[in-house]
Structure 1
C-alpha cells in the first residue's frame, strides 16, 4: 500500500489553439468551357456575377493550368462533382446558392434553365460550407475585428452590433501588412539568436583556453613539491574542474534553449510565409486567426561571460599559498579555495542578458486577475529520468508522490537524484514571466526553481533545491492535517519573473483555496 500523503501536482492550464495546424490551400483545375450556344448566351451574365463575388471576396480567379507548385506549397486537391454517383468527374463550377459543385454535364441546368439564373456560380471550391454563415446561409463577406471571425451581413446587424466590422478584403490587406512587419521582426530575432549561438561557441572556447592556462600554472607550482603536495594538488584541481564543468553545463543548457527557440521561430516563419498563399479570403482570415491564437512571443537572450579576472585571482592564490604555507598544504588550499568559491569571488558562471527588450513588454499592464496571469501560463510535467527512487509519478507525469519506505526499481540515469528526494520538470523556464498553479499535499512537499546543471548524485546542500545561491523553494508549512480521515489540501497560484541576471522574483498572486478531501 502506497503512502501518498506528500505530493506535488502541477495544475493543468487551459489549452489554447496550438500553432502549426495546416489547412490545404485550395487550388482549382478548370475544365475547358463548352461552346454550346445557350452557354454563350449566358456567359456575359455569369462573368458579371463572378466579378461581383470576386470584388466582395477580394480575390482574383485564375486557371492553374500550366503552373507548377513550389516545394513549400501544399498538394493540389481536385474538386469533384457532387452530383456524379459513380466515378465523380472534375467540377467545372461551384454554386454558392446550392452549396454544391457540378461537372460540365450537371452544370447545364444552371446554364440553360432560367430558374437557376439567380444562382451564383464561381470557380470550383472545397468546403463551401465553411464560407457560408451557418445561421443565415449567406456569404461570409465581412470580418469582425472585435471577435476575430468572418461573418455575413445579417450577423453584422445582429450578434455583432456595435463591433468593429470591415470587408474581408480590407481586413486581409491590413493583416497582410501586420504579417509583413511580424516577419521582419522574426528575421531580426532569428539573426540575434544565431549571433547568440556564435557568441556562446566562442565563449566556450574561451573557457577551455583560460582553464587550460590556469591548469598548467597549477601543475607547474605543484611540480616543485614532493609527496606532501599531492593531496592538495588533487583538491585544488577538483575545485577548478567543478567550476569548469558547471560553467560548460550552463552554457550548453542555454545553447540548447536558444536552438529550440530558433526552431520555433523558423516554424512560425514558415507558417507566416504560407498564409498569404491562400487564394480565398475566408480561408486566409480563419487560418490567420487560428495561427495568431497560438503565437508565442520569443524572448531571445544576449550572452556575456567573463573569466579572466576570476581566473587570475585563482592563479594568484595558488602561487602565494605555495610559497608561504608549504607545511600546511592540504588544509590551506582546500579551505581558502572553498571560501573563495562560496564568496562568489571565483564565479565562473554564464550570464545572459536580453538582446533587445521589446517595447510591448515595458508597456504591458501588470496582471491582476487569473485570466491575466494565464497569458503567461506554463504547463509543467515531471521528468521520469530525474525521479528519486522513493517518488512515484502518476497522472501522465503531472503528480509526484512520496512512497517511502517503498522504493521503485528505476534505471540509473545521469539526471536521476540519488540522495535528495526530488524530481525535475521536463520543461524549462527562461527570461520573462511564467505562471503556474501547484497543489501541495503533506508537510514535506516543496516546490522550487533551480538550474538544470544542479548536482544529482551528491549529498551536500548543493544538490538540494533549497538553501543555496542557485535555487529557490517554498512549501513544507503550506499544508496541514486535522484529526480524522480528511486531509486539507492547498492549491497555490504563483507567478515567477526570471530576470536577465538569472535571479528569481516570485510571489503568490491570489489566496489559495482550501479544499477538504477524503483519501
Structure 2
C-alpha cells in the first residue's frame, strides 16, 4: 500500500496540480479533471489535441470515460486531508490558546488563526505572500537541494514539485543544449561549404588538365617537337601557379574556419563553466543591493513574442525587419500591433549590462514582462508610450530620442559606432544607454523605480532603411 505522500502524487492532476475532481480518462490511459480537459480542448481548438502527459495526438472526436473508482478515491483522500488539517493545525502566533488555524502563509512559514490573519489581508507589506489552506508540516514544502526555497512548480518529467531555482537551472540547461545544437549545425554547414568549394576547384583543375592535354595532342600534329616542349613548359608553369594560388586560398580559408571554431568553442566553454560554477539566485529572494547578482552571460530572443513582421535568426541572437508578414503561430505573448520582440531572460535584482549591435531605424528598450502585447496608442504595446518600458530610438536620419510613459525627449547626440550598451541597476533604480566604442559615450539615463522583472526589448518599425539588431554575446 503506498504511503500518504505517494498516494497524493498519484491522485494529483498534472494540469491544475490539485487532487482529481470529476476525473476522466483519455484513450491513452492518462486521467485529468473534467474542467482541465475542457479548458485544454478550448485552448487548442485550432490544432489537434494532444495528451499533456504522453503528447499523443487524437482526432477531432476524443473519447473519454469517467473513472468512478479514481473519483471515489480522490474524494475520500481530499476529505481525509481536510479532517487531518482541521484536527491538528493550530495558530503559531497564539500557542497558549491552541487556536485552530484557518490559513498557512508559505512566505512566512506560519499557520494563522482568524485574528492573526488580518494583517496578511490588510497590510501592503504582505500582498505578495501566498496563503493556502492550513498545513501541518510546512517543512515538507521546502526544497532539499536549495535550503529555504518553497516548492512552487510541478515538473511533469520527474513527477515531483520543484522550487523556482530548480526550474531556472533546468531552463538554463535547456538553453545551453539548444545553443550547442545551433552552433554545431552552423559549424557543420560551414565545413560542408568549404569542402564543396575545394572539391569544385579540384574538379575544375582536372577538366583544365584534360583540355590542355587535348590541345597539346592537336598541336603535336602541326608543330615541331621544340615548340611542343616550350608549350608544355609554359602550361606546366601555369598549372604550378594555379596550384600555389589555390593552396594559399585554401590555407587562408582553413585558418579563418579554425579561428571561428576556436571562438565558438570558447564561448560554449564559458557558457558551460558559468552553469557549472556560478550559483543562480532566485529572482524572488535576491537582495536589491546591486552587488550580489551577476550579469547573464547568455541572452536570447523570445521567438514566441516576436511580431509577424520580424524575422528572428535560428540561434535567437539577431532580428531583422521584413516587408512581408511571416506565418507565425498565434501566441498570448506575441506583439500583434507593433513590430517588437522581447528577450527570453529577465532580471529582477542586481546590476546587468547588455550589448547590442544595431543598424537602420531601431528602438532598444528595457521593459516589464507585463507590457501590453495587443493594443496601440497610449498605454499600448509600443516601447516608451507606457509606464512599463524605457526606450532609446534612432530614426532613419540618425536622430536619437528617449521615450518613457508617452513622454518624448530629443537627445542632442549622434552615434559614431553601431554598438549600444544597455545598463540596469536595481540598487540605484537606474536604466542607462551608452555608446560602445573607443570611449564609452553616455547617451541617456532614466531614474526608474523598478518593481517587476525586466528584460531586453527590440523594436524595428520600418523596412527602409534596412533595420537589424544583433545581441553581442562575447
TM-score, normalised relative to structure 1? 0.28
Higher relative contact order (CA 8 A, sep 6+): 1
Task: Name the structure with the higher helix share.
Answer: 1
Task: Tell me the TM-score normalized by structure 2.
Answer: 0.31
